Amino acid sequence: MTIDARLERLVISSPDVERVAKFYVDAFGYCAEMHGDEARCEAPGRSLWIRSGRVNQLLESRFVFANSAALDCYIERLEKRRITFTRQYGESGISIRIQDPDDRSVCFAVNVESRPVASGGAGEKHFARLQHYAVRTPVPQVLLDFYANSLGFTVSDLVRDQAGDLTAAFLRSDAEHHSLAIFRAAEPRFDHFSCETQDWHSLRDWADLMARRSVHLAWGIGRHGPGNDTFFMVLDPDCNLAEISSDLEQCAPERAVGSWDHRMETLNQWGVAIMRS
């Protein structure tokens, strides 16, 4: 059984907040509002906040439960496991915050009605909802243990090299194949985030939109092995990868953990892949 929470928002840092925010407004149709040194980029179904700071860092991921009873149940589960967290009280009620082993914040809150998003941009005609994110870390087993054993995420697929060392892990927090992916790499950093669109044809329409906006595809169109989703990725001005995906695997509760070899065809069944290690 999964914890049944979905990804709602990411907060990343950048040395040039306004430039990166402008990219997401122009290319992906977000509406951006500045709050001090933070750009809050919002579109229907997706939320990306960019805060002044180091390049390529994920500061926070925020997951939401369907209601306060589900959050209370999750808090009880963490307390039983003696997991350290802090409570916060805000406009939308209580939320909790936990630091992962690479010092990123993970927040859990209750889903509230989406606030109105200003009209305009690609967000209206080209729908895609924030679905998953990925981070890089030198020893993925450490993050895997934390998210699976401490936070209760469910392991969907693992990738190992010829020596048997873990090179990637895909974990889910609801029925969708992964809300978090972890890749082995030399340095801890943000890797990418993905917004899931309705179907294959919508993915094509997004790619056409990128072309009209003179944004080159950096990877894809391809099909991932783990998750079986079709996708493309582009690079933002900080060289973070932003992904549009479709047709991600829906996992049955009894689904066994998948095992994959560390090779290009695992990350892209159609051939060329960005290998992080």
Residues lying near Fe ion in the complex (CB under 5 A) are found at 194, 243
% helix, strand, coil for the chain, step of 5: 20, 40, 40
Q: How far is it, in rounded angstroms, from Cα 132 to Cα 228? A: 14
Q: Which is nearer to Fe ion, 51 or 192 (CB)?
A: 192
Measured from the CB atom, the residue of 85 and 127 that comes closer to Fe ion is: 127
Report, in Å, the least distance between residue 243 CB and Fe ion. Answer: 5
Q: How far apart are CA 209 and CA 50, in angstroms?
A: 23
CB of 131 to Fe ion, least distance (A): 8
Q: Shortest gap between Cβ of 6 and Fe ion (angstroms)?
A: 15
Residue with smaller CB distance to Fe ion, 8 or 243 = 243
In this complex, which beta carbon is closest to Fe ion, that of residue 150 or of residue 194?
Answer: 194
Tell me how far, at minimum, the Cβ of 58 lies from Fe ion, in Å.
14
Report in angstroms how near the CB of residue 245 gets to Fe ion at its nearest.
6
Look up residue 128 and give its two tokens. Answer: 């895609």
- How many degrees, rounded to 5, is the angle at CA 125 between CA 232 and CA 34? 85
Q: Phi, psi at residue 212, to the nearest 5°?
A: -65, -25
Residue that has been written with the tokens 């805060």 in this structure:
51
- Identify which of residues 100 and 243 has a Cβ nearer to Fe ion in the complex: 243
CA distance 74 to 61: 17
